Amino acid sequence: MTDIKQRHAEITRRFLVGKTLSDLGRQIDRTRQEVYMWKSGKQSPPAVMLLKIIQLSAADDWVIDWAEECLRCYLEE
């Protein structure tokens, strides 16, 4: 099975096509550097943050879809 950090990196790269690291960071109140760490597979986005995005966020639909897909990786582990 692929490492969860790599799965999150693949998902993040796919959702960022045509967008910048800052685009995602602004939507979820995170820095461009944090988003880079997820995109590069060095870290995974925190599960609690992903859940909050899904439940409480006024973020764009693509951001909520990204959070749902990333959270699904945690649930499959």
pLDDT, tens digit (0-9, with 9 covering 90-100), for 23-65: 999 999 999 999 999 999 999 999 999 999 999 878 899 999 9
Band of residue 1 on the pLDDT scale cut at 50, 70, 90? very low
- Domain at 4-76: CATH architecture: Orthogonal Bundle (1.10)
Q: Which long-range contacts (CB under 8 A, 24 or more apart) does 15-22 make?
A: 15/62, 15/63, 15/65, 15/66, 15/69
Residue ranges covered by each domain of the chain = 4-76
Q: In the 8-state DSSP scheme, what is residue 1?
A: -
Rounded to an integer, what distance in angstroms lies between the CA atom of residue 67 and that of residue 18? 18
